[in-house]
Amino acid sequence: MIQLIRGFKDILPGEVELWQKIERIARELFEDFGFNEIRIPIMERTELFKRSIGEDTDIVEKEMYTFPDRKGELVTLRPEATASICRAYIQHKLYSPDPAQKFYMIGPMFRRERPQKGRYRQFYQIDAEIFGVQSGLVDVQLIFLLVTLCKRLDLKDVGAHINSLGCPACRPQFKAALTDFLVSVGDKLCPDCVRRRDRNPLRVLDCKVPSCREAITGAPSLLDHLCDGCRSDFDLVMESLTKLDVPFVIDKQLVRGLDYYTRTAFEIQTTSLGAQSAVAGGGRYDNLVKELGGPDIPATGFAIGFDRLAELVALNAPQPVQQPDLFVAALGAKSQTLAFEWICKLGLDGIRVETDLADKSLKSQMKRANRLGAPYVLILGENELEAGEAVLRNMRTKDQTSMSLENIVDDIKFQIKGTKSQLG
């Protein structure tokens, strides 16, 4: 038997309903906050991700699905959405006439990481980006949105972590201090980090290797090296989060795994998913649009790990299985043909009907109706057919009523819609 590719997964019925619910709530929230949906391709030129995510990151160094297409051009399955959304923003001049734009997208991403719970090679993100606003207040808006989404999904064990990653004005000074520190811990770093120390020392702070994590515990913090502009921006972010009653922790270790960030970076973290603590991550990236060949336009955004979010919601509240509104137990070929017609008509009216076209006994059909949790069963046997009626059984009260076949589709609609509206 051919099996799934390692790290890929199916989202099966029973689980997919929860994904639909999360997606519905997220879309509603984005639309209320004025975001427009954008759909971007699953594959891009490799160059786009190298230039935006950064050559020294784990993603670009080790995790991308990159291959030459038939003409030899290097293409990559997208490991994230920000680079593509920036490309689209520049390519279609979406900044003209108004650079201030808000986008969201939902879809699969690909990273060849070591698979484990909460970490997949194909995973999904819910991504949001805001272009054209320099103020840290929009970073606050993004964190507020994330926290609101978690509240609407009844999540308790989640918290916002924030840090500032500075800007090209203050970073060189910090990099020099960090490099000095990294030289002082010398042989405790993994070979990748020894290389990164000279090329891109900030990446060492994001290394997952335990010996590196230990070596960097006393590393200098960017927060102690911010320039005046970055300092006041970060103060504004903290003040505004406090005013909005959004709890947060300042996390000096938070550097994010992508190179494009400037100023505020944030994550929503949980302790309920083992090693994979980041449910969402994001931050400001004021130079990326320009670096990719566009105008000098600031931007900020986040991505939620959809798989992790769904796992977290499922931990808190097992999802009810969808039940049919009606089960039709039809006995004999004539009854089945008739019932089939009704089912099609009822479906058009949003009434969910299950039936059994395998001509099983009444007993076995009633058993199945019970298992599916149908509140009503309509029984149509040969005797009923001859008498021009069917029997509607209320599975909870066990009451049975005869219904004339003449207007049966409308009568059932009336009965079931009445029950549905009573149930609210």
CA atoms within 13 A on the CB side of 180: 7
Decide: is 56 part of the binding site for ligand HAM (CB under 6 A). no
Number of other CB atoms surrounding residue 226 within 10 Å = 24
19 interacts with ligand HAM by CB under 6 A? no
In angstroms, give the least distance from the CB of 209 to ligand HAM. 17
Toward ligand HAM, which CB reaches closer, 146 or 185? 146
Minimal distance, residue 31 CB to ligand HAM, in Å: 19
Site for ligand HAM contains 298 (CB under 6 A)? no
Q: Does 264 bind ligand HAM (CB under 6 A)?
A: no
The residue within the footprint of ligand HAM, chosen from 162, 308, 326, 412 (CB under 6 A), is 308
Q: CB-based burial of residue 422 (10 Å sphere; 0-12 exposed, 13-18 middle, 19+ buried)? A: exposed
* Residue number closest to ligand HAM, CB atom: 305
Taking CB under 6 A as the binding criterion, the range among 23-31, 32-40, 76-84, 363-371 that sits at the site for ligand HAM is 76-84
**Phi and psi (nearest 5°) for 345?**
-65, -40
For residues 299 and 100, the answer to whether their CB atoms sit within 8 Å is no
- C-alpha 157/C-alpha 150 separation (Å) is 9
Residue 206 touches ligand HAM, criterion: CB under 6 A: no
Given candidates 145, 178, 280, 343, which one binds ligand HAM under the rule CB under 6 A? Answer: 280
Nearer to ligand HAM, 99 or 281 (CB): 281
- Return the residues of window 112-131 that contact ligand HAM according to CB under 6 A: 113, 119-120, 123, 125, 127, 129
Pairing status of strand 36-37 against strand 43-45 = unpaired
Question: Is residue 59 within 8 Å of residue 202, measured between CB atoms?
Answer: no
Q: What is the DSSP string of 68-132?
A: E-TTS-EEEE-S-SHHHHHHHHHHTTTTSS---EEEEEEEEEE--PPPBTTB-SEEEEEEEEEES
312 near ligand HAM, judged by CB under 6 A: no
Closest CA to 132 of 302, 300, 294: 300
Where does this chain bind ligand HAM (CB under 6 A)?
80-82, 111, 113, 119-120, 123, 125, 127, 129, 257-258, 278-283, 285, 301-303, 305, 307-308
